[in-house]
Amino acid sequence: MKWAELVNILFTLGTMVVIYLIGLNFYNKKVGIYATVLFGATVPVLVYSHRVLIEPVLTFFIALTFLLLILDSPVMSGISLGIALMIKDQAYFLVPIIITYLLIEKNIRDGVKDFAKTIVPAIIIFSPWLYRIISEYGILHYFIWRSTYVGMTTKVQPASFYVMNLSSEIGILSILFLFLGIFSILVRRQRNDLIILLSFLIFFIPVSLFRVKAWYYMLPAFPFMALIAAIGLRDVGRIISKELSEKESDIIILFILTVTIFFPLKTGIMNLSYLKNLDLGADRAGEYLVQITDENDVVMVSWCSGYYDYYTHFKREPIGFPKTEKELLKIGPDFIVLDFNNPGMIDAPLAKEYAYKMVPGYEVLKVFKTDGNPIAILKKSSS
């Protein structure tokens, strides 16, 4: 296990503790427990907590910022916000969440004071880092490339992508509780409930509009999603408790919760094992790519194989696949990386086509086998 994977596991466990504390302080112990279990048993949480990505760390600081805010500790919340902003730009969505919370919970005067106490520490922490990034890479790189990943894909997934695929990531019963929770919030319109729902939507809607769709982009919304589902499960428990004793009701809810998390838990563990093998192949391909290329070479990738290895080594990005073979030959990259580990995620139709035939003018340099399809590194022919 890589040390970075261990760090992500620890941050994910920390996020679960924070979710429990949010549920405990906003509602009660049961909601905190339900939300923690529902969050931890989702496929994206299980998979990405064991991979070298920054989203699990980002999710922790987003949840922590929210927890410190509801504990009426705006300065500490601002410090957490500043750290989250340094991790990834999706943390910007915390600002409207903070404003929403203060508008609902505070009067105007106290709200303005708390907002200042929150935002000033965040700016102090975040500004030096932002200056460095913009100075080195440019403002357009930060505010456009990082948010939409333009250039790494030629196809725009529909905004409904996450909604349509939610059942495979959190399970049918979790979706049922999620919708029950949303219905309960809209009917009762209690302040705490509305804050949780609006916080979820503030993340979910903009991320759904990103050009590139990947579940780890949506990971910061999962704590709020789990809390909403926990509200739905709590209401089911209340209905059951009207007919049965509290002990009998708790046993039934425990059974329901166990059934709810079984299938996403099973899917997540299976996916984790599969992706571990894919990552090993991608790591080897990336290391080989760094060895055979120099800073003057142009490298084209079909998805993201070797992307981080290449970028970390040369401090520049490879280019994505064009739409047509004519455009590809016009660009004439020195090397091409074809990653078909997960063909369903490749957004370049031309790259898919090359899974079954040779790229004109290129020769296969090396193929890295995985449990899925291979990763091939191609070099422009000298002839």
pLDDT tens digits along 161-188 = 888 888 877 888 888 899 999 999 999 8
Q: Is the pLDDT of residue 355 over 60?
A: no
Cα→Cα distances 226→81, 146, 202, 213, 291, Å: 21, 27, 15, 21, 44
Tell me how far apart the alpha carbons of residues 21 and 100 are, in angstroms, rounded to a whole number. 20
- The DSSP letter of residue 88 is -
Mean pLDDT computed over 38-62: 87
Q: Rounded distance, CA 242 to CA 253, Å?
A: 13
Q: Which of 17-31, 214-228, 243-257, 304-318 has the lowest mean pLDDT?
A: 304-318
- List the structure tokens of 273: 């094992």
Residue range 17-43, pLDDT digits in tens: 999 999 999 999 999 999 999 998 888
Q: Name the DSSP class of 306.
A: T
Please report the domains of the chain, with CATH numbers, ordered by start residue.
Answer: 3-242 (no CATH), 285-380 (3.40.190)
Record the pTM.
Answer: 0.77
When mean pLDDT is compared over 50-64, 262-276, 306-320, 357-371, the highest value belongs to 50-64
Q: Are 327 and 339 in contact (CB under 8 A)?
A: no
Give 317-362 as a DSSP string.
Answer: --EE--SSHHHHHHH--SEEEEE-SSGGG---HHHHHTTSSPPTTE
